[in-house]
Structure 1
């Protein structure tokens, strides 16, 4: 299939739709509504969403370390991670403990 200038917006919408679908699946961050489904097209975007989450945690840590002791900052960082991901990682940890 040859891409023409008219096909590019549709291609970009599809790519960004997959990114936003991955973002809404892995986080509670608001994203534009898309018709994207969680599937093979969204999987390549999971590491990118992880990078976004990591960047947000870094900024959160950077600010809090200037204001609070390290132990309190670590506690708030874990709570922030749990909040931003909707607890999806904590659910996985709990699943390992319930046998």
Structure 2
């Protein structure tokens, strides 16, 4: 693996506190920064994947609407009202 140097300016107090925090985890500041960078890249990758999945789901829903492949709110409510009533009936029959 080739390596590159990453140089940036930071307040002396922040640098000292960061070095102390890294030492508490038995790491150097550079090790901890590399870990943060890897985690940040992974998080961004996961966010991009989720965003792509979400957009695909929305597009699938919109396509279903364009095809007329939808169920009305009234139909959904009627279906679940029937399910709730069936559950109540079973509970009453079992004596609970």
| TM-score (normalised: structure 2) | 0.30
| TM-score (normalised: structure 1) | 0.29
Larger relative helix fraction: 2
Query: Which structure has more RCO (C-alpha within 8 Å, separation ≥ 6)?
Result: 1
